[in-house]
Amino acid sequence: MQNTENPHTVEELENLAFELRSKLLHLCGTYEGAVHIGGDLSSADILTALFHHGLHVDPTDIANPTRDRFLLSKGHAAVCMYIAMSMRGFFSYDGIVDTYGQLDSAYGMHPCKVQLPGVEASTGSLGHGLPLAVGMALSARGRGESHRVVTLMGDGETGEGSVWEAAMAANSYELGNLVAFIDRNRQLMTSFDEERVFLEPYTDKWAAFGWNVVHIDGHDMGALVQAIDALPASDSRKPTVVVCETVKGKGVDFMERNLAWHAGSLGAADLDRAMAALQASREKESV
């Protein structure tokens, strides 16, 4: 599971993730409505690693049957996925900024496969991405196809029963071609997850359901690359979950772990403040 057509170093991927966050903030500062900026920022490194390193996809041949399939189960992070895809060459970033959220725009608050070629599934109803991915992985296995099916979930949605039914089914069908990444930012819309839903011991739960479990810092690009490169072969018999410890609002100090920034918009002054905070965070991490 690796983008061999356009390989990047870890440093280059880190630069791409910074660019992605910058573009996220720019859109949040130009769109009049609310953007799910907190969860976008927490998943930016994961989506950068997937679209620029992990996924075997070709923006110029989106119907290639050998391509990996990606499903954004946490559909409210659609803006982050749109921008990651635009940076890979699927479509124009300017087109996202110019039309996002407008009537008949291909770029809605949640992704729609009918509106946007290259998107594998319409998502946004939480808890559905993994069941869809299980069905796609099982279908691929039945047809003797070797591509992977990858999904990105938020940890909050893993409180849904449909997720654990799908997790049990994936193990029962021995779907080694299925990989789930989890944005473990430990926040829900209006609370921190352990205040409402007790998910811990989190990795133990996945292991108990028979999954191969990888637990990493979801903002460590080197760890993300290593986890992707170390995935078992797609013809293996055990699904893999990569639990990524993240920070909601990552990179913008006044948004980090702040429940008020699950979704919102930025005025001109706030946008300048956010961009300055992002730059300062990058400089701090590079020391």
pLDDT in tens, 57-115: 999 999 999 999 999 999 999 999 999 999 999 999 999 999 999 998 999 999 999 99
Quote the pLDDT of residue 284: 87
Strand order of the β-sheet with 178-184 is 69-72, 149-154, 178-184, 240-245, 212-217
SS3 76: helix
CB 185 within 8 A of CB 244: no
| 142-146: average pLDDT | 97
* pLDDT > 90? residue 191: no
* pLDDT > 80? residue 6: no
* pLDDT > 60? residue 257: yes
pTM of the entire predicted model: 0.96
- Of 49-53, 80-84, 246-250, 263-267, least confident by mean pLDDT is 263-267
Quote the pLDDT of residue 5: 58
* pLDDT > 60? residue 3: no
Question: Which CATH number applies to 10-286: 3.40.50.970, 3.40.50.300, 3.40.605.10, 3.40.50.200?
Answer: 3.40.50.970
